[in-house]
A and B are shown apart, each in its own frame.
Chain A
Amino acid sequence: GEDVEQSLFLSVREGDSSVINCTYTDSSSTYLYWYKQEPGAGLQLLTYIFSNMDMKQDQRLTVLLNKKDKHLSLRIADTQTGDSAIYFCAESMDSSASKIIFGSGTRLSIRP
């Protein structure tokens, strides 16, 4: 069945790059997403990538997709204290009505 796995915690020093990794099981996934959840807040869509792409860059964010290994990563350059949050990897199929399947989320904490 569909499943998305992520490590639970990541701690990085302010100014360093953060890399959050994710694996998924469903090879028919068409869209892969990264959502950010700050404490007490909702889910903010950060970026997404189509399954026919290898990489997508958006300012400080770089998404890498290895479709063969079903591995997705999110790199945050120059990590700031405001980046502290839970980051969810997610997938969906090729349909407007498709549900999104979320991973457990990776809690990113920033050390001074």
Chain B
Amino acid sequence: EPEVTQTPSHQVTQMGQEVILRCVPISNHLYFYWYRQILGQKVEFLVSFYNNEISEKSEIFDDQFSVERPDGSNFTLKIRSTKLEDSAMYFCASNADRAGIYEQYFGPGTRLTVT
């Protein structure tokens, strides 16, 4: 069964450093998302992406964040200058463009630890 994959599974970085989290969505999906889950808290929406542009972003997704689909398979989240409060599990998700079927499939997540 096709699945969303994410790398790395765990990333440790120092405050102020740039990180890139990578995702490979399911191959025939057209809508892509990033969410994050701070330990013990809700899963929060960050950004949605379709047709090579951002569809919607949350308040969390400020100028320090960017997303890119550099080729036909990868979808990346970049944090330019990480802060301690960026430590969280980051989930990528994708969704097929099938009328009436809105199932978002999530990857296993990347645990980001900022020290």
Contact = CB atoms under 8 A, between A and B. Distances in A.
Interface stretch (B13-21, B64-72, B74-82, B102-110): B102-110
A102 B36 CA distance: 11
B31 A96 contact: yes
A49 to B, nearest CB: 12
A44 B43 CA distance: 13
Contacts of B55: 97
Main secondary structure of the interface of B (DSSP, over half): strand
Contacts, number: 57
A101 B42 CA distance: 9
Nearest to B99: A96
A41 B89 CA distance: 10
Interface of B: 30-31, 33, 35, 41-45, 48, 50, 55-56, 58, 91, 93, 95, 97, 102-109
Interface of A: 31, 35, 41-45, 48, 88, 92, 94-105
Contacts of B104: 45, 92, 100
Given A42-B107, A42-B108, A43-B106, A96 B45 contact: no
A104 B42 contact: yes
Contact of A45 (B35, B48, B56, B105): B105
